[in-house]
Amino acid sequence: MTFVIVALSLALGFASAASAAPIVSLPAAPAGEPALVIRAQITPAAARVFAGGSPVFNSTVAGADDGTIAWSVIGAGTVGGDGVYHAPSTPGGRAIVVATARGASAAAAVTIVAPPPAARPVMLVACYGDGSIDVRDAANSESIGTTAIGGSADGIAADARAHLAVIGGGDRVGIFDPTSGSTTFSAPVSGARFSEVALLAGGYAAATDNLADAGRDGVRIFGPVAIGRAPALAGSVPAGDTPEGVAVAADGRTFYVTNVNSNSVMRFAFDARGDARLTGAARTGHRPFGVAIDDARKLLFVADNDTATLSGTASNPGLEVFSLPSLRRVARIGTGSPDALPLGIAIDPAANKLFVTNEGDGDVAAFSIDPLRRLATLPSGRAPWLPAVDRERGLVHVPNAEDGTISTFDVRTLRPLDRAAPTCGYPTSLATE
């Protein structure tokens, strides 16, 4: 008998840890053949789902040559043959979602919850793997509930005053309302794949299109944005090859974009009415990805996501520092091993701290800004992605994409807060209100 692993419904729907399922023995194998067992697993094992939501469960079965998985539910709601659970429209109910294959079963506990009130500060986690948003309490990082937005959820930026978040998702940009768990999307933009997003002056938002070639419309501007209204495409501006990272100055009228395959960073001026224009550019190291601004010190930071596999002997991964407004490079510093793959940057200027996620090393490099000096290496999960600093609470949050978890550290002491918290599938970005 051949050992086969069958995976169904590649999206995850909630914040939780994976659970081990019962192991069921098969009849004795013929002489000369190994005896196998069937092992079933369902993720997540426990879920808090917003009323009316339709998240997706994932099930894997090992040790069976028949990949058929039967789904069932006990209690509130329904589940389809594809693992999509449909929650009832009123909170308070409970359910158990069950996946069964060849006699082995695994179950997940579901609680139907109401979205948080507008006055409750939240952290929003965007998960690329399952197209969901995990809404968590900003004070203690506990999950409030999860909702599926459909498609993918890439970059996310929150506007605390308007109680909304802007999400990049495939060829659309969405406006997420945490108080209802609903998302209103723009019309699709042909050929685009929106990645990172940022809030601009006048209620507008910028989204980078990482499928854009050099000289094409690589940054799209939407707005003004509002809850319940489909984001309208207001303008666009050409960028370099594969625009990815985006960072905005405090006034919302100047923003910077990294171009991964053009090895450059560009500066744009925004008029707060939908139009932007190029005002400067600088060459960077190979594969610039993350970008962040320190307005007070007039510094721009860029993470070069480079390795010898990509650049050979010319590889020089690390953190670059540019002076503003000249865009003159004034410093470069390593963030980890030659295979660190530095990716995202988050800064807390008031605390004089800067954090760089090392996708390859699976850790976070912590620096002081002035002087630029390595302070510590903070262990995270696998493939840490785009970090975010919660300045009000003095925390830095790191989404660990491959682990499906969030690591949180105290900005002042650099100590971790408890264990990494499980979240939705392949988290890449987060924001706090």
Determine the topology of domain 122-432 in CATH.
Answer: Methylamine Dehydrogenase; Chain H (2.130.10)
Q: Which of 404, 403, 406, 407 has its CA nearest to residue 424?
A: 404
pLDDT attached to residue 148: 85
Percent of the chain at pLDDT > 70 equals: 90
163-217 pLDDT, tens digit each: 999 999 899 999 999 999 889 999 999 999 999 999 999 999 999 999 999 999 9
Q: Which of 19, 78, 14, 13 has its CA nearest to residue 45?
A: 19
Average pLDDT value for the chain: 88
Indicate the pTM of the whole model.
0.86
Assess contact for 288 and 302: CB atoms under 8 A: yes
Q: What number does CATH give the domain 5-113?
A: 2.60.40
Burial pattern 142-171, b for ≥16 Cβ within 10 A else e, equals ebbbbbbbebbbbbbbbbeebbbbbbbbbb
Question: What are the sequence ranges of the domains in the chain?
Answer: 5-113, 122-432
7-39 pLDDT, tens digit each: 333 233 333 333 333 433 334 445 555 555 667
Task: Output DSSP code: residue 229.
Answer: S
Pairing of strands 288-294, 276-283: unpaired
